[in-house]
Structure 1
Amino acid sequence: MRVLVTGANGQLGRDTVTVLLQTGHEVRGCGRNELDVADLEQCQKAMAAFRPDAVIHCAAYTAVDAAEADIDEAYRVNADGTRNVCLAAEKAGAKMIYISTDYVFSGLSPHPYREYDNTDPRSVYGKSKRAGEMLVQTLSSRYFIVRTSWVYGKYGNNFVKTMLRLGQEKPLVQVVHDQKGSPTYTIDLAGFLSELIQTERYGIYHASNTGECTWYEFTEAIFAEAEAAGLNITARLEPCTTAQFLRPAPRPANSVMDHGAIRTNGFRDLRHWREGLKDFLYHMKQSGH
């Protein structure tokens, strides 16, 4: 298949391009410099030139805290940009995958969120990503909306890399123990996206590595796996509450998502988050990071 990937220089975009090439697709990866998704004409030209069978829309404004003050920019990229990519993909006759987030939910439910639960975003980031979902549902005739959570990978900044650095530099690391979710390794998510685009099982999907943990438990695992891989972690780890770490944007207390659509559509679920983490750390060590 011919697949166009937006946001191809980002954390998920880069690994998605890599995985698609490995699985034999013809890929055009467009970073922000090649394609400003907020420019409809640019989107239409890019699609007309490449004529993709499918578009994976990874480009997004993801600075969760900054979005609280930078509202117009968050909507310009996440809503208007998604509309433009959608219109251009539709015109080119391409399927569309839109990458969304657990932040479209309030995070207040005691249960894992199902694909068709009511959304109720509390942050500007979550609201702008939900706006993108609504535009996809309105404008695309063949779409997949894939909500994911707690994403980390080889490229860019992420929680795992930050904790590895702090674990080696600081005497004490405090991490919140009252927010839970499912960490997601970009390579595992990209593998699922690669499988999804080859089908016509359209709709909304929740896709993260399976299992759940708090940020504190995730950090415990990061430190344990890092030490097993030969890294010297010197920091003492201590749990704390969300209230002790106030941020501009509210964080969901519960980001765990049920993968009902993966099960009912006959896909293989993503592996357990701890396996993904082990693999990530192994590859980071192999590449000398």
Structure 2
Amino acid sequence: MRILKILILGSSGNIGGFLTKSLNKYYEVIETGRKDIDITNKNEVIDFISNNSPDFVIDSAGIADVDFCEKNEDISYSINTLGTMNVAIACSKKNIPLIYISSAQVYGSSENSSHFEQDICDPVNIFGKSKLAGENLIRTLCKKYYIIRTSWCFGGEKCFVKKIIDKKNIPIFMVADMKVNLTYLGDLAKVVLSMINSESYGIYNCTNKGSELKSNIVKYIFSQIGCSKEVFPLPASTLKALAPRPKDCLLNTDLMESSFNIELPSWKDRMIEYIDTIMSLQK
């Protein structure tokens, strides 16, 4: 039986790197980073994908720094939107299924409820707008695609949890009143595996169970390492310099669960497991 060939764009990033390691166990994985391919160059993307003839393309490339995107609109749209368009064109030409890693921030804010995939999207910052524009181009150009809208991913080598633990001895300031879902990358990889073995194409929300204020998530992380620490809200003067954030940008995952017969555990359970792994490696 022939082993499927999976091309992962953005392998040097945290999500792409994690997916590369996870899928390597089952498939022939072609990992690519910025040094391998410039996704803003349409001809380069088309030639690269054509020459490698993958059975599946996973696009985890792009700029995820929300504040950088807000200050660098041209770069954000060039990579997150036009780069995505180039990948979609290349996949469409060869009829290759495409998995696109998107974001909960394409929805904008919600009031007292979680977003469903069919909800109207009204992003409040350049990052969300550039990702939504990329999504729309995929939907226009491709017949076979999965768009995964996820949120606050943790796990891997460049995880925000590690960065928070590293800051245990210094004051923590952050936007404190935004409620989010979290996604463990190990569970995201399971969903991606299910998609590769399915033809239920479409848009799917993907997060672990539960939601929490960002400030409480940071406090929870510290509590798991036995550290009592206060998280300070950023002053209004600082917030004005940051990109706007959606308030309570939560996701409903019923469609993912029913389509792929998957029910992901709570983010707290996965966070405990992940922190235990980090701490054991530091001993």
TM-score, with length taken from structure 1: 0.90
Aligned partner (choices 244, 257, 260) of residue 254 of structure 2: 260
1:6–1:57 Cα contact (<8 Å) kept: yes
1:53–1:93 Cα contact (<8 Å) kept: no
Aligned partner (choices 224, 233, 239) of residue 240 of structure 1: 233
Matched, 1:83 2:76: no
Amino acid at match of 1:193: V
Find the residue that maps to 1:118 and give its secondary structure.
Answer: coil
Amino acid at match of 1:47: I
Deviation at 1:70, TM superposition (A): 0.8
Please give the root-mean-square deviation of Cα atoms over the aligned residues, in Å: 1.9
Aligned partner (choices 15, 25, 33) of residue 18 of structure 2: 15
Counterpart position of 2:166: 165
How do 1:1-289 residues align onto structure 2 when only pairs under 5 Å count? 1-22=4-25, 24-156=26-158, 158-167=159-168, 169-170=169-170, 172-227=171-226, 233=227, 236-238=229-231, 240=233, 243=236, 246=239, 247-288=241-282
Find the residue that maps to 2:66 and give its secondary structure.
Answer: coil
Alignment: residue pair count: 279
2:123–2:246 Cα contact (<8 Å) kept: no
1:145–1:205 Cα contact (<8 Å) kept: yes
Deviation at 1:50, TM superposition (A): 1.8
Amino acid at match of 2:187: D
1:178–1:242 Cα contact (<8 Å) kept: no
Deviation at 1:244, TM superposition (A): 7.3
Deviation at 1:225, TM superposition (A): 1.7
Distance (Å, rounded) in 1 between the aligned partners of 2:140 and 2:102: 16
1:141-180 Cα deviation digits (max 9, x unpaired) = 1011100001122222x4322321222x12x434544211
Identify the range of structure 1 (244-253 vs 7-16) with the bigger mean alpha-carbon deviation: 244-253
1:115–1:260 Cα contact (<8 Å) kept: no
2:106–2:122 Cα contact (<8 Å) kept: yes
Counterpart position of 1:230: none
Amino acid at match of 1:237: E
1:112-144 Cα deviation digits (max 9, x unpaired) = 111110000110111000000000000011011
Distance (Å, rounded) in 1 between the aligned partners of 2:278 and 2:23: 20
User: Structure 2 vs 1, CA of residues 71 and 285 (structure 1 numbering), >3 Å: closer, same or farther?
Assistant: same
2:57–2:98 Cα contact (<8 Å) kept: yes
Find the residue that maps to 1:145 and give its secondary structure.
Answer: strand
Find the residue that maps to 1:28 and give its secondary structure.
Answer: strand
Distance (Å, rounded) in 2 between the aligned partners of 1:193 and 1:54: 11
1:78–1:129 Cα contact (<8 Å) kept: yes
Find the residue that maps to 1:65 and give its secondary structure.
Answer: helix
Amino acid at match of 2:242: P
1:164-215 Cα deviation digits (max 9, x unpaired) = 1222x12x43454421111212222122112212100011100011111111
5+ unaligned residues in a row in structure 2: which ranges? none
Find the residue that maps to 1:56 and give its secondary structure.
Answer: strand
Deviation at 1:217, TM superposition (A): 1.6
1:12-45 Cα deviation digits (max 9, x unpaired) = 00010111112x1111011111011111122122
5+ unaligned residues in a row in structure 1: which ranges? 228-232
Sequence identity, in percent?
29
Distance (Å, rounded) in 2 between the aligned partners of 1:20 and 1:217: 32
User: Structure 2 vs 1, CA of residues 205 and 287 (structure 1 numbering), >3 Å: closer, same or farther?
Assistant: same
Distance (Å, rounded) in 2 between the aligned partners of 1:76 and 1:85: 13
User: Structure 2 vs 1, CA of residues 165 and 245 (structure 1 numbering), >3 Å: closer, same or farther?
Assistant: farther
